[in-house]
Structure 1
Amino acid sequence: MKYLFFTAAAICAIAFKSFGQEAAPNVQTFNFTVEDCVNYAYEHQDSVVNAKLDIKSAEYKVKETTGIGLPQVTGTASFQDYLKIPTTLLPGEFFGQPAGTFVPIQFGVKYQSSFGVNANQILFDGSYLVGLKASKTYKELSIRSHIRSRIEANVNVTKAYYQVLVSNEQLRLLNANIAQLKQQMDETTQQNKQGFVEKIDVDRIVVQYNNLVTSRENTIRLLALNYQVLKFQMGMPIEYALSLKDKLEDIKLEDNTADLAADTAFYHNRIEYNLAETNVDLRQLDLKRQKSLSLPSLKANAAYTSSYQDNNFSNLYKMSFPSSYVGLTLNVPIFSGLQRVNQIRQSKIAVLKSQNDLENAKNGLKLQANQAHVTYVNGLQSLNNQKRNQTLAQEVLRVSKIKYQQGVGSSIEVTQAQTGLEDADNKYIQGLYDALVSKVDLDKAYGRIK
């Protein structure tokens, strides 16, 4: 049955994670409700933890962008030892030599050094102002991405939790059927010894009994794996001991979707739609940035430098020659070979595409919600039908046993009735899991999971 199988990625990840892990000397034990498991995942699941770190990184990104508009100060220091002082050729006429001749002259000293401080400050830059706003929107994007990670963790943990509950229910039904069949097998064996029934009647029951015992053993192993899948989805080490507080009867499965269908703007509650809105905002900001590149920019700058020169190193720093200045730098874009014009056009197209994506996301979310609604209603009806079939199968088996004991029925009827009950139990388990999963998908589709 499909509810017994999981994604290959989850199982492989569990296998790799468990391989090489040694049993902890002090294994921790937890007894959790589904809400406890979800809250644990919020704090330990890798994708949620990383998304939370992305928010912190985005905060630093905002501060980094803000720092661009603050004064930028740098210090400089230099030292030169001229092993050969540069030589300059001067016209010979300066020194009374014939025209056309040159006299080599060395200018400068052997040792030179300087220390300086430079500072500049943005007074106006349109791209900086837009970038500052964009960095804050980027932070908002990381926050919404974190919310999406929490929702996905919530969905995965809840489904894994329900899988364990369903597996426990399947194990309970198998135990009940095995106990019932064991009693029937013992009674039939005694009747065979007394000559009231044939050996073939005993053999039929033994075959059924062995099959049920094998199914129980398989279910027990799968149940252990289901617990590991749940712990993996929670971000919990799989060697920890985990037990579940919630019971299947605590979960309310009812058709309460009428109020959901009345909310036509539910998609605003979906994080996917919010992320698409943020993407539109970022594209619009990029368009503003491209336009701002056509505006002039103005910066203030200042510098102070202290120079030292001497032919003797021991006297180099005895006398300084300071210099300083303050000024303004104005950059005015004049012509860029139509690059900016075409960049603006590309940004406009990107905005239109993001708006189309937003509209498509809205339609997709509406369709997803309608599909989730239909699947949930169908799942409830199927589950209720399987419950009725299960009850009928139990009654058929009870009547078949009475008829067989009174000699008006055959062992084949009892065997068929037992097989029918097992089939009804299996379909009930499948319907139960499908209904639980569709309930989670419905809550997600209408933005109930935050």
Structure 2
Amino acid sequence: MNRYISKKIIKLSLFLASLLPFSALAQTTQPDSLLKEVTLNNAIEYALKRQPTLQQAYLDEKITESTIKSKLADWYPQVNFNYNLQHNFIVQTSVIGGNPVKLGVDNTSSAQFYASQNIFNRDALLAANTKGDVLLQAKQNTASNKIDLVANISKAFYNVLSTIQQIKISNSNISRLERSLKDAYNQYEAGITDKIDYKRATITLNNTKANQKSNEVILNARLAFLKSLMNYPKNEKLNIVYDSLQLENEVFLDTTQTLVDNNRIEFAQLQTQRRLLDANLKYNKWSYLPSVSANGAYNFNFQNNNFGNLYNKSFPNSYAGITLGIPIFQGGKRRDNINIAEFRLRRNALDLEILKNDFNTEYEQALAVYKSNYANYLALKENMGLAKEVYEVVNLQYRSGIKTYLEVIVSETDLRTSQINYYNAVYQLLISKIDVEKALGQIKY
């Protein structure tokens, strides 16, 4: 009996052990890259790690780094091996002193070890002089992509919050309107008012519900856009988390700041490009200089008319030397290349001037929009407080029989509109703040 139980236990253990790989596989296939709570900072950090455009930029950095190493490898000694085996069906014949003489044998073979070392080569010299700026250019491109991504995600996030806030306001208004409709209908049933009041309440409620439905559709579209920027799984839910009070505290910006061109990544990119263009000009001027390299080889030569005895005896030779290549005339190509390099350098200087003007225009426009939105924000904040106070008084007077229901609807509509306009103003102000910070070059990641 004990042996039977032991066999059962062993079989069960083997069965459970066989399931372990599948359970491990199931665990590894579970999504491990989802956010439980999506704040603005979380969304940005998530996107910086997974956005395909940024991943491409990181790969471009790796490609650039490897390309630089490949170019710099030309400064190292180059060692090669060549092997040759040849059978001559007809050996070359020359006439020497009136007599035909065969030059060579039926079978030949050779092996060569060849080494060379660059002493002066303008291509390798260019790679050595520009390696830092070339790699910096790739990193600056990544930084530019990060800045654009952070700004776009911030704006998309605020647009989502704006729509969520409008839906919350609609939900609150719908609850209030449903109670108001019920009161209006009860008063109609009691003969206190006619049917116009509760029908007006019905119309207002239906309009609010329609507006809420519209906002829900817009919210789905804005969430989809935010997911695409984050590279978030499209079928997964974004649990947006935010603090309204904190966001309101973040709308303020020092409008007395001055624009510093050097803070902009675009300016740094053009400066890097200028250094590379200057190096290219020197490279083209070096085309008048000779190229110098040291080289040497050791050759194994085997010759025999009998193929079986080909490798019995070797006739080696070796040499070492210096090769000097002097460019003499190339049809004016070098002068033209130098002119092209100089024109590109001058064009880059003009690009810098254009960029400075663009920076100033962009900053002034962004600052003007921010100031306008800030003034609008202050006015709408006051309006919302006033509209709430008016609605509460009118609603109380209506219940006391002093005001008509039409005045209640008007005040309620004013309240809803003021609430929506206020929260829209908050998020538009935050978006315009992002534009100002980007224009100032203050977005750094």
Q: Provide the TM-score with structure 2 as the length reference.
A: 0.88
Read off the aligned partner of 1:211 and give its amino acid letter.
N
- The reply on whether 1:248 has 2:244 as its aligned counterpart is yes
Read off the aligned partner of 2:82 and give its amino acid letter.
T
- The 5 Å alignment of 1:59-208 reads 59-86=65-92, 88-90=93-95, 94-95=98-99, 103=100, 105-208=101-204
Per-residue deviation, 1:313: 1.7
Task: Find the counterpart in structure 2 of residue 41 from structure 1.
Answer: 47
CA–CA distance in structure 2, aligned partners of residues 333 and 411 of structure 1: 97
Per-residue deviation, 1:269: 1.1
CA–CA distance in structure 2, aligned partners of residues 50 and 39 of structure 1: 17
CA–CA distance in structure 1, aligned partners of residues 194 and 209 of structure 2: 24
Task: Find the counterpart in structure 2 of residue 413 from structure 1.
Answer: 407
Read off the aligned partner of 2:90 and give its amino acid letter.
K
Per-residue deviation, 1:70: 1.2
Per-residue deviation, 1:424: 2.1
Per-residue deviation, 1:220: 2.5
Structure 1 contact 29–241 (Cα < 8 Å) conserved: no
- The reply on whether 1:347 has 2:341 as its aligned counterpart is yes
Task: Find the counterpart in structure 2 of residue 215 from structure 1.
Answer: 211
Read off the aligned partner of 2:401 and give its amino acid letter.
G
Per-residue deviation, 1:46: 1.1
1:399-422 superposed Cα distances (whole Å, 9 cap, x missing partner): 332333333332222222222223
- The reply on whether 1:317 has 2:314 as its aligned counterpart is no
Report which stretch shifted further, 299-308 or 28-37: 28-37
> Any idea what SS the aligned residue of 1:30 has?
coil
Read off the aligned partner of 1:198 and give its amino acid letter.
D
Percentage identity across paired residues of the two chains: 29
Per-residue deviation, 1:160: 1.8
- The 5 Å alignment of 1:261-340 reads 261=258, 264=259, 266-340=260-334
CA–CA distance in structure 2, aligned partners of residues 238 and 295 of structure 1: 60
Report which stretch shifted further, 39-48 or 224-233: 224-233
Task: Find the counterpart in structure 1 of residue 26 from structure 2.
Answer: none
CA–CA distance in structure 1, aligned partners of residues 55 and 266 of structure 2: 19
Read off the aligned partner of 1:391 and give its amino acid letter.
G
Read off the aligned partner of 1:192 and give its amino acid letter.
Y
Read off the aligned partner of 2:225 and give its amino acid letter.
V
Per-residue deviation, 1:284: 0.8
Report which stretch shifted further, 55-64 or 228-237: 228-237
Structure 2 contact 38–238 (Cα < 8 Å) conserved: yes
> Any idea what SS the aligned residue of 2:48 has?
helix
CA–CA distance in structure 1, aligned partners of residues 395 and 242 of structure 2: 36
CA–CA distance in structure 2, aligned partners of residues 209 and 329 of structure 1: 92
CA–CA distance in structure 2, aligned partners of residues 25 and 211 of structure 1: 44
1:142-163 superposed Cα distances (whole Å, 9 cap, x missing partner): 0101111111111111112222
Per-residue deviation, 1:255: 4.2
Per-residue deviation, 1:314: 1.4
Per-residue deviation, 1:292: 0.8
Gaps of 5+ in 2: 1-28
Per-residue deviation, 1:89: 4.5
Structure 1 contact 276–361 (Cα < 8 Å) conserved: no
Read off the aligned partner of 2:388 and give its amino acid letter.
Q
> Any idea what SS the aligned residue of 2:324 has?
strand
How much is the aligned-residue C-alpha RMSD, in angstroms? 2.0
Structure 1 contact 253–380 (Cα < 8 Å) conserved: no
Gaps of 5+ in 1: 1-23, 96-102
Structure 1 contact 125–298 (Cα < 8 Å) conserved: yes
CA–CA distance in structure 1, aligned partners of residues 142 and 252 of structure 2: 31
> Any idea what SS the aligned residue of 1:305 has?
strand
> Any idea what SS the aligned residue of 1:109 has?
coil
1:262-307 superposed Cα distances (whole Å, 9 cap, x missing partner): xx5x221110111111111111111111111111221111111111
Count of aligned pairs: 414
> Any idea what SS the aligned residue of 1:449 has?
coil
1:198-218 superposed Cα distances (whole Å, 9 cap, x missing partner): 112111111111121122223
- The reply on whether 1:388 has 2:356 as its aligned counterpart is no
CA–CA distance in structure 1, aligned partners of residues 54 and 31 of structure 2: 27
> Any idea what SS the aligned residue of 1:31 has?
coil
CA–CA distance in structure 2, aligned partners of residues 412 and 293 of structure 1: 88
CA–CA distance in structure 1, aligned partners of residues 38 and 404 of structure 2: 49
Q: Provide the TM-score with structure 1 as the length reference.
A: 0.87
> Any idea what SS the aligned residue of 2:37 has?
strand
Per-residue deviation, 1:127: 4.3
CA–CA distance in structure 2, aligned partners of residues 422 and 447 of structure 1: 38
